Chain A
Amino acid sequence: MRDYYELTAAQKMHHQWIVDYKTQQVSGVSVIASLKTELDFGLLKKCIQLEFERYGCMRIRITKPDENGEVKQYIVDRDSRDIPLKDLSGMSMQEADDLMQQWAYETFDGDDIPLCDVSMMKLPDGYNGFFIHMDHRLIDSCGLIVMINDLMQLYTHYRFGSKYPEDLTDFETVLANDLKKANSEKRFAKDKKFWDDQLDALGEPLYSDISGPSVLEEARKRHKNKKLRAADIEMKQLFVAVKDYILEPDATKNLIDFCINHQLSMTNLLLLGIRTYLSKVNNGQEDITIENFISRRSTHSEWTSGGSRTIMFPCRTVITSDTDFLSAAYEIQNMQNRIYMHSNYDPALIMAEMKKRYNTPDYTTYESCYLTYQPMTVKMDNPHVANIPQHSKWFANGAATKKMYLTVSHTAEGGMNFSYHYQTAHLEEHDMELLYYYMMRILFKGIAEPDMTIGEIMDNV
């Protein structure tokens, strides 16, 4: 007898985007992991098939919506598919990356179907590995990194006799536990109170756009409401472009040292950089909200069970221009810590509450910026491959539900990669250049002179 489960809040978030934007493309996640070495593809195939057995989230299926549009998930016992080998070794690496980028745009269309594809890859320049394309309702990027490492541990066990990897935690057990927690009335009431209290204290949030106040003004005209505080979400032209900027290792170290010395997390420093920029380009607006993604993985079971645990919450702070940089950072940290404590809550309920209170028009938002800080690298963590060059890369799904989505990760060289995904319907590369340039100016001014006020920093940079 098969068990059916409702989706978790994180899964619902992706599912709702698919429904709202009418394409599964918005929920795609793709990555290539490869090594510059010969691989035994027969053995690799066996390991990938074994991974399907070990990592239950790869076997999730989602049912057809019922008459109310509700779907359920279930986990099939077996998925003994063949694993294709694709040979791109005759191309340049750029051409191979371009082709894999096209694969990342492909959709999983249908109900009760596999939502995960894995191919073995022969790449140019002697690189070999595997390409994974999945639906975000099954997995997030941390889960994918765990999977890649587990797969390589299986491979090196069979190939070189290294230790067999420890069992992964059963996905279904963790899922059932998560749903039980989320449905706890007491926990739900505490979480709801936290989010409601914030609205009681601060009132309706106010939109702030990367390009300045004109976007909100246009929305006010469109909706014939001079007091509107939310702006429209682009629902049709979802094409996304990506612009990456690398912060050098020395500069990165300065940011990390500042965080360590002041017991700040990097996420909060980055949030401060973004919010100060938004404030600067929106005439000093003090009430700023940024959506921040949290990967809810803390316990050993949560880390090793796979699944989609990344969820976004609005980080709203009202910071006056006479607040010094360090105090502003602590204000954000304080808010984020409280959000972490209430991150069992379904963020869709926060939006529903705001819509109920403020009667905001459909498909409007208070946020233009979304942040993910990703401290884990996709680099394979395995002593047998430590000295072998790797080519690993995430591919954007090409359809953005968000106006600007910044992913900050660490590079193998000790720097940081700022990857800006932006909707081309309203933004250009130049907007990202400005955002990155000012973010860095703000952050480095702030860490050099943490007593300087936010207002002074905005004037100085």
Chain B
Amino acid sequence: MTKEMQFKEIVAQYCDIAPEKMTNDMRFREDLGFSSLDFMAFLGELEDTFDLELEEQEILKVVTIEEALALLDTLDEND
């Protein structure tokens, strides 16, 4: 499974949209219906799954799936 699909599988646990129907321009709050609590819990799940350390100030700027994936890529490059 690609990292992107793995990421979307996690997103799908928090909303009613199947991973294959997600588009990268979807916004977590407006399009996927994430509450603040959902979003922060989701980030914790990402940290555990991908073994990452997310910077709180950076992640709060994330709005779309694309931005979140880009952030994950950046963190990978820095590893």
Known: A298-B14, A300-B13. A343 touches B48 (CB 8 A): no
| Interface-located stretch among A69-77, A222-230, A330-338, A353-361 | A330-338
- CB of B36 within 8 A of CB of A299, answer no
Contact A299 B14 (CB under 8 A): yes
CB-CB nearest in chain A for B43? A341
| B58 touches A (CB below 8 Å) | no
| Cα distance, A184 to B56, chains bound together (Å) | 20
Q: Any chain A CB within 8 A of the CB of B6?
A: no
Complex contact B41–A296 (CB within 8 A):
yes
Q: Which listed residue (A181, A190, A334, A340) contacts B37, Cβ 8 A?
A: A340
Asked if A364 is at the interface of the complex by the 8 Å CB criterion, the answer is no
A196 CB, min distance to chain B CBs, angstroms: 16
CB <8 Å contact, B13 and A340:
no
Q: Does B35 interact with chain A (Cβ within 8 Å)?
A: yes
Query: Which partner residue on chain B sits nearest A336 by CB separation?
Result: B36
Q: Please tell me if B66 contacts chain A, counting CB pairs below 8 Å.
A: no
Q: Which of B13, B14, B35, B44 contacts A341 (CB 8 A)?
A: B44
Tell me if A343 and B41 are in contact (CB < 8 A). Answer: yes
Q: Give the complex CA separation of A333 and B60 in angstroms.
A: 11
Distance of A338 Cα from B13 Cα, bound (Å): 21
Q: Tell me if A252 is interfacial: C-beta within 8 Å of chain B.
A: no
CA distance A344 to B47 in the complex (A): 13
Give min CB distance, B2 to chain A, whole Å. 21
Say if the beta carbon of B67 comes within 8 Å of chain A.
no
Task: Check B48 against A299 for contact (C-beta < 8 Å).
Answer: no
Given contacts A181-B48, A337-B60, A341-B56, contact A298 B42 (CB under 8 A): yes
Q: Which A residue sits closest to B30, measured CB to CB?
A: A263
Interface size on A, residues (CB 8 A): 21
Interface code A179-213, partner B: CB below 8 Å = 1, 0 otherwise? Answer: 00100101100100000000000000000000000
Q: Which residues of B contact A333 (CB under 8 A)?
A: 36
Q: Does A301 sit at the interface, judged by CB under 8 A?
A: yes
Inside 8 A of B70's CB, which chain A residues have their CB?
none
Which residues, 20 to 79 on B, are CB-close (under 8 Å) to A? Answer: 35-44, 47-48, 56, 60
Docked Cα-Cα span, A341 to B47, in Å, equals 11
Query: Is residue A318 contacting chain B, with contact meaning CB distance below 8 A?
Result: no
A294 at the interface (CB under 8 A from B): yes
Bound complex: CA A77 to CA B36 (Å):
36
Size band of the interface chain B makes with A: 10 to 19
Instruction: List A contacts of B40 (CB < 8 A).
Output: 337-338, 340-341, 343
CB atoms of B38 and A337 under 8 A apart: no
In the complex, chain A residues whose CB is within 8 Å of the CB of B42:
298
- A294 adjacent to B48 (CB under 8 Å): no
Residues 314-361 of A at the B interface (beta carbon under 8 Å): 333-334, 336-338, 340-341, 343-344
Give the Cβ gap from A308 to chain B, nearest Cβ, in Å: 16
A372 CB to closest chain B CB (Å) equals 13
Indicate if A265 sits at the interface (CB-CB under 8 A): yes
Q: How far is the CA of A4 from the CA of B14 in the complex (A)?
A: 29
Q: Is the CB of B13 within 8 A of A337?
A: no
Q: Which of B14, B47, B48, B56 is within 8 Å of A338, CB to CB?
A: B56
**A-chain residues with CB within 8 Å of residue B16 when the two chains form the complex:** 300
Residue of A nearest to B12 (CB): A300
Which residues of B have CB within 8 Å of A300? Answer: 13-14, 16
A298 and B48 contacting across the interface, CB-CB below 8 Å: no
Cα A343 to Cα B48 with chains together (Å): 14
The residue in chain A whose Cβ has the minimal distance to the Cβ of B16 is A300
Contacts of A190 in B (CB 8 A): 47
Residue of A187, A296, A334, A340 touching B48 (CB-CB under 8 A): A187
CB neighbours of B44 from chain A (8 A): 187, 341, 344
Q: Mask for A281-312, Cβ within 8 A of B = 1, else 0?
A: 00000000000001010111100000000000
Could you tell me the distance between the alpha carbons of A300 and B9 in the complex, rounded to whole angstroms?
A: 12
> Which residue of B14, B36, B47 is within 8 Å of A340 (Cβ)?
B36
Select B41's contact among A186, A336, A340, beta carbons within 8 Å. Answer: A340
Q: Known pairs A190-B47, A298-B37, A337-B56; list 9 more (Cβ under 8 Å).
A: A265-B35, A294-B37, A298-B41, A298-B42, A299-B13, A338-B40, A343-B37, A343-B41, A344-B44
Nearest first, the 3 A-B pairs at minimum CB distance are A340-B40, A299-B13, A341-B40
| Chain A contact residues, CB within 8 Å of chain B | 181, 184, 186-187, 190, 265, 294, 296, 298-301, 333-334, 336-338, 340-341, 343-344
Interface residues of B (CB under 8 A from A): 13-14, 16, 35-44, 47-48, 56, 60
- A-B contacts, 25 listed (Cβ < 8 Å): A187-B44, A187-B48, A265-B35, A298-B35, A298-B37, A298-B41, A298-B42, A300-B13, A300-B14, A301-B13, A336-B36, A337-B36, A337-B39, A337-B56, A337-B60, A338-B40, A338-B56, A340-B39, A340-B40, A340-B41, A341-B41, A341-B44, A341-B56, A343-B37, A343-B40
